[in-house]
Amino acid sequence: MDFLSLALSTIAGAFSLLLLFKLSTKKLFNSSYPPAVGSIINEIINYRRLYDYHTDLCRNYRTYRLLYPWSSEIYTANPANIEYFLKTNFSNYEKGRSNYEIMSDFLGDGIFTVDGDKWRQQRKLASYEFSTKAVKDYSSHVFTKNAAALAHKVSEIAAPNKVIDMQELLMKSTLDTIFIIGFGVELSSLLGAEENGKAFAEAFNETNALIFWRYVDFLWKFKRFFNVGAEAKLKKSIQTIDELIYKVIHSKRKLISTQDHSNKADILSRFIALSEKEPEKITDKFLRDIIINFMTAGRDTTAVTLSWFLSMVCRNPQVEEKIVEEVRESVKQGNEEERVETIEEFANSLTDAAMDKMPYLHAALSETLRLYPAVPLGGLRMCLGREFAYRQMKITAAILLRFFRFRFKDENKKIKYRTMFTLHIDGGLQLLAFPR
Ligand code: HEM
């Protein structure tokens, strides 16, 4: 973040905290509240290593509070508390007004930002969507097709000493996937030239990081008003994203006017069908918010988890060999000998039954999520796409590891994350790929 913003925020933070300490000493030292162990200033100072900062606090306190100028926030790593928030007393907790204010310039009135009936309606429809057999079968087909396309891409690029940014490739692949399954449209036909895709991906990453910065920059509203600093950048990034999203909407509307969309499997068509009785609800803005929220949920999470997974595999070749062995065994029919097969042949053999025979791969992905949680600060809700995400990650990992051995370009380079909503590897994941 820019230094001016940092300095301004720190000074204003110190001032406001002083005020807060003066006004609320009672609450600060009240033993019925979790201990107040830091403030927004600590978060700003530790911003680049924010999740390590929180991990250190969790080790010492498990449940604690951080003080912000006008409120305090509770963080917990205690499973009993998490069960209480997510399940036992779920209805008592909301995303709340301040989260809405921070996120809604980007995520609008989508599932991630809203509470109450607005949330319930979207949750119900999307849960139904994820559980239907038609969507399950269709999504598995798209996962294998896109993972095979990714393997071909790696194969085209792979050459001795040729470095591949696997995180970038995985992001592209998961974005293509969510466009087809979520919105029923081909992304490549909307993007046109490859540079447009790059500009879009950059804008998406920037927005993710800049919106997250608002949590510690309590001058953000002031900056937004004057359109300066991080907020000016954010506005531009959101505009770039919106341009593409409105293209999606126009192409979807065209499809709707020419075809019967009521039996289409994608999430967007279902939302449109649901709102048919109240057509005034299906504004372009309504559709935009749905698209952005599902894109956010479906693109980064699986791509970053697979990136961290590949980095873990590079560090643990013995685990890599066990996964590859399990993957090969799982697709074998009876006592047949292993044979040379094409990427497509192998991808088509990844049936549900074959995937069920890969508990070790499943565990390796779960361990990756434990060590590198894709959404590090968990929110109050259960992921809707969990089963969907595991299926996609297992299929992609199985195909990539079956056909390639990955190694770091530079074994000594420390891999770090970038502080944002989702745990991206800072600067990408530079790997060499060797065909198996
Ligand atoms: C490794 C992959 C994934 C991880 C770690 C993950 C994690 C999470 C977390 C922590 C939340 C709760 C956020 C909050 O309370 O604010 C969440 C919510 C959600 N996830 Fe996932 N997710 C993943 C993949 C996916 C995928 C692939 C989809 C589907 C496209 C998806 C759809 C959703 C939706 C729709 C919500 C919002 C639920 C609600 O607000 O009711 N997720 N996810």
Q: Are 108 and 289 in contact (CB under 8 A)?
A: yes
Q: pLDDT at position 132, please?
A: 83
Give me the sign of the Cα torsion angle 410, 413, 418, 424: positive
**Average pLDDT rounded to a whole number, residues 174-185:** 89
In the reported structure, the alpha carbon of residue 101 is separated from the centroid of ligand 1 by a whole-number distance in angstroms of 20
Same domain as 73, residue 129: no
Looking at residues 358-373, what average pLDDT do you find? 97
Asked if the model's pLDDT at residue 240 lies above 80, the reply is yes
Closest CA to 119 of 353, 318, 384, 364: 384
Would residue 109 count as lying in a domain?
no
Pairing state between β 63-67 and 36-39: parallel
Residues 146 and 284 in one domain: yes
Examine residue 402 and state whether it is found in any structural domain, yes or no: yes
Q: Which atom of ligand 1 is nearest to the CA of 378?
A: 10
Q: Which residues line ligand 1 (CB under 6 A)?
A: 111-112, 123, 126, 178, 294, 297-298, 301-302, 305, 369, 374-375, 378-381, 383-385, 388-389
**Judgement on whether residues 52 and 180 belong to the same structural domain of the protein:** no
pLDDT at 268: 81
Say whether pLDDT at 387 is over 50: yes
Residues 95-123, mean pLDDT to the nearest whole number? 94
Residue-range definition of the domain harbouring residue 257: 116-435
User: Residue 247 above 60 pLDDT?
Assistant: yes
The verdict on residue 19 lying in a domain is yes
Percentage of the chain exceeding pLDDT 90: 64
Lowest mean pLDDT among 245-254, 387-396, 399-408: 245-254
Average pLDDT, the chain: 88
Q: What is the CB-side half-sphere exposure of residue 162 using CA atoms within 13 A? A: 10
Residues 277-290 have a mean pLDDT of 83
Beta bridge partners of 38: 66
Is 34 within a domain? yes
pLDDT band at 161 (very low <50, low <70, confident <90, very high): confident
Gap between the Cα atoms of 37 and 59, Å rounded: 13
Q: Is the pLDDT of residue 214 over 90?
A: yes
Instruction: Say if residue 419 is in the same domain as residue 295.
Output: yes
State whether 48 and 159 are in the same domain.
no
Amino acid, res. 108: G
Quote the ligand 1 centre to 357 CA distance (angstroms): 25
In the prediction, which pLDDT does 340 show?
64
Q: Give the amino acid at 427.
A: G
Average pLDDT over residues 339-343: 80
From the list 72, 19, 22, the residue with the least C-alpha distance to 43 is 72
Which range scores top for mean pLDDT: 131-140, 181-190, 249-258?
131-140
Q: Whose CA is nearest to atom 31 of ligand 1?
A: 385
From 78, 93, 108, give the residue that closes a domain.
93
Asked if 40 contacts 68 with a C-beta cutoff of 8 angstroms, the reply is yes
Q: Grade residue 26 by pLDDT with cuts at 50, 70 and 90.
A: very low
Question: Both 89 and 133 in a single domain?
Answer: no
Residue 149, pLDDT score = 95
Q: For residues 133 and 82, state if they share a domain.
A: no
In total, how many domains does the chain have?
A: 2
Q: Residue 24 has what pLDDT?
A: 56
- Cα 435 to averaged position of ligand 1 atoms, centre (Å): 33
Which whole number is the average pLDDT over 163-187?
Answer: 91
What's at 362, amino acid-wise? Answer: H
User: Ligand 1: which residue has its CA nearest to atom 10?
Assistant: 378
CA of 112 to the centre of ligand 1 (A): 9
HEC letters along 110-152: CCCCCCHHHHHHHHHHHHHHHHCHHHHHHHHHHHHHHHHHHHH
Residues 176 and 308 in one domain: yes
Question: Which CATH number covers residue 275?
Answer: 1.10.630.10
Q: What distance in angstroms lies between residue 129's CA and the mean position of ligand 1's atoms?
A: 14
Give 320's pLDDT tier (boundaries 50, 70, 90): very high
Predicted pLDDT of residue 379: 83
**Is residue 23 very low, low, confident or very high in pLDDT (cuts 50, 70, 90)?**
low
Average pLDDT over residues 5-32: 61
Domain-located, residue 104 = no
> How close is the Cα of 414 to the center of ligand 1, in Å?
28
On whether both 163 and 238 belong to a single domain, the answer is yes
Instruction: Tell how far the Cα of 268 is from the centroid of ligand 1, in angstroms.
Output: 17
Q: Which two tokens stand for residue 301?
A: 């999470």
At residue 210 the predicted structure's pLDDT band, cuts being 50, 70 and 90, is: very high
Q: Closest ligand 1 atom, CA of 178?
A: 30
Q: Does one domain contain both 89 and 121?
A: no
Last residue of a domain, one of 49, 78, 93: 93
Q: Nearest C-alpha to atom 22 of ligand 1 is from which residue?
A: 383
Name the β-bridge partners of 407.
Answer: 432
Ligand 1 pocket test target in 370, 383, 390, 396 with most atoms within 8 Å of CB? 383
**Ligand 1 center–CA 412 separation, angstroms:** 33
Task: State the average pLDDT over residues 274-288.
Answer: 79
Sign of the four-CA dihedral 346, 351, 355, 356? negative
Instruction: Give the DSSP letter string of 349-365.
Output: T--HHHHHT-HHHHHHH
pLDDT at residue number 393: 98
The helix/strand/coil state of 422 is: coil
What's the CA-to-centroid distance between 383 and ligand 1, angstroms?
4
Q: Does residue 421 surpass a pLDDT of 80?
A: yes
- 215, 301, 310: which to mutate for ligand 1, most atoms within 8 A of CB? 301
